[in-house]
Chain A
Amino acid sequence: MRVSMDIELKDVPGQMLLALQPLSECRANLITVLHHHQKLTPRKTVPVQLVLETRPENIAAIKARLEKNGIKVVRVGEHRFRESINVVLIGHVVHSGIQDTIDEIDKTGFAEVVDLTLSMPGIDMLSSALIKINALGKEEIQKALNILKEVSAKKDLLMVLPIDVQA
Chain B
Amino acid sequence: MKTVRCSIIGFGAIGQGVAEVLLMKKEYLENIGLDVRVVAVVDSKGATISPDGVDLADCLARKKEKRTVALEKITGLEVIKSIDHELVIETTPTNIETGGAGLLNMLAAFEMGRDVVTSNKGPLTLRYRELVETAKAAGSSFRFEATVGGSMPVLNFAKEVLAGNNIRSVKGILNGTCNYILTRMLEERASYTDILAESMELGIAETDPTYDVEGIDSACKLVILANAIFGLEATYRDVDVTGITKITPEALEMAYENGHVIKLIGEVSRERIHVAPRLVPINHPLAVGGTLNVASLDTELAGEITVTGKGAGSVETASAILSDLVSIYREQ
A→B interface (CB under 8 Å): 86-88, 90-91, 117, 119, 121, 125-130, 158, 160-163, 167
Interface pairs (5), CB distance under 8 Å:
A86-B279, A119-B248, A121-B250, A129-B254, A158-B246
Provided the pairs A86-B279, A130-B258, A167-B278 are in contact, do residues A160 and B251 lie with their beta carbons within 8 angstroms? Answer: yes
Contact: A86 with B260, CB < 8 Å?
Answer: yes
Q: Which of B253-305 contact A (CB under 8 A)?
A: 253-255, 258, 260, 262, 265, 267, 274, 276-281, 284, 286
Contact: A160 with B248, CB < 8 Å?
Answer: no
Provided the pairs A86-B279, A128-B254, A130-B254 are in contact, do residues A163 and B246 lie with their beta carbons within 8 angstroms? Answer: no
Q: How many contacts between A and B, using CB within 8 angstroms?
A: 69
B260 in complex: contacting residue of A90, A117, A121, A162, CB < 8 Å: A162
Residues of B close to A125: CB separation below 8 A: 248
Provided the pairs A88-B254, A119-B254, A158-B242 are in contact, do residues A126 and B279 lie with their beta carbons within 8 angstroms? Answer: no
Residues of A close to B121: CB separation below 8 A: none
Q: Which residue among B250, B274, B286 has the maximum number of chain A CB atoms within 10 Å of its CB?
A: B250
Contact: A130 with B255, CB < 8 Å?
Answer: yes
Q: How many residues of B contact A (CB 8 A)?
A: 25
A90 in complex: contacting residue of B248, B274, B279, CB < 8 Å: B248
> From residue B248, how far is it (CB to closest CB) to chain A in Å?
5
Residues of B close to A86: CB separation below 8 A: 255, 258, 260, 279
Q: Which residue among A91, A119, A128, A129 has the maximum number of chain B CB atoms within 10 Å of its CB?
A: A128
Contact: B254 with A163, CB < 8 Å?
Answer: no
Q: In whole angstroms, what is the CA distance A130 to B258 when docked?
A: 9
Contact: A160 with B277, CB < 8 Å?
Answer: yes
Provided the pairs A126-B248, A128-B254 are in contact, do residues A163 and B262 lie with their beta carbons within 8 angstroms? Answer: no
* Identity of the chain B residue whose Cβ is nearest the Cβ of A157 in the assembled complex: B246
Contact: A167 with B276, CB < 8 Å?
Answer: yes
Q: In whole angstroms, what is the CA distance A127 to B251 when docked?
A: 8
Residues of B close to A167: CB separation below 8 A: 240, 267, 274, 276, 278
* Identity of the chain B residue whose Cβ is nearest the Cβ of A120 in the assembled complex: B250
Q: Is residue B247 contacting chain A, with contact meaning CB distance below 8 A? A: yes
Contact: B258 with A163, CB < 8 Å?
Answer: no
Q: Is residue B171 contacting chain A, with contact meaning CB distance below 8 A? A: yes
Contact: A160 with B254, CB < 8 Å?
Answer: no
Interface of A is mostly: strand
Contact: B251 with A161, CB < 8 Å?
Answer: no
Question: Can you list, as one digit per residue, whether each of B71-115 has a CB less than 8 Å from chain A (1) or not (0)?
Answer: 000000000000000000000000000000000000000000000
Residues of B close to A119: CB separation below 8 A: 248, 250-251, 253-254
> From residue A132, how far is it (CB to closest CB) to chain B in Å?
8
* Identity of the chain A residue whose Cβ is nearest the Cβ of B286 in the assembled complex: A163
Q: In whole angstroms, what is the CA distance A117 to B284 when docked?
A: 23
Residues of A close to B248: CB separation below 8 A: 90, 119, 121, 125-128
Contact: A88 with B276, CB < 8 Å?
Answer: no
Residues of A close to B286: CB separation below 8 A: 163
Residues of B close to A160: CB separation below 8 A: 247, 251, 255, 262, 276-279
> From residue A92, how far is it (CB to closest CB) to chain B in Å?
11
Residues of B close to A162: CB separation below 8 A: 260, 278-280
Residues of A close to B250: CB separation below 8 A: 119, 121, 127-128
Residues of A close to B284: CB separation below 8 A: 163
Residues of A close to B265: CB separation below 8 A: 163
Residues of A close to B279: CB separation below 8 A: 86-88, 160-163
Contact: A163 with B242, CB < 8 Å?
Answer: no
> From residue B140, how far is it (CB to closest CB) to chain A in Å?
38
Residues of A close to B254: CB separation below 8 A: 88, 117, 119, 128-130
Q: In whole angstroms, what is the CA distance A163 to B262 when docked?
A: 10
Provided the pairs A160-B277, A163-B265 are in contact, do residues A90 and B246 lie with their beta carbons within 8 angstroms? Answer: yes
Q: In whole angstroms, what is the CA distance A22 to B247 when docked?
A: 50
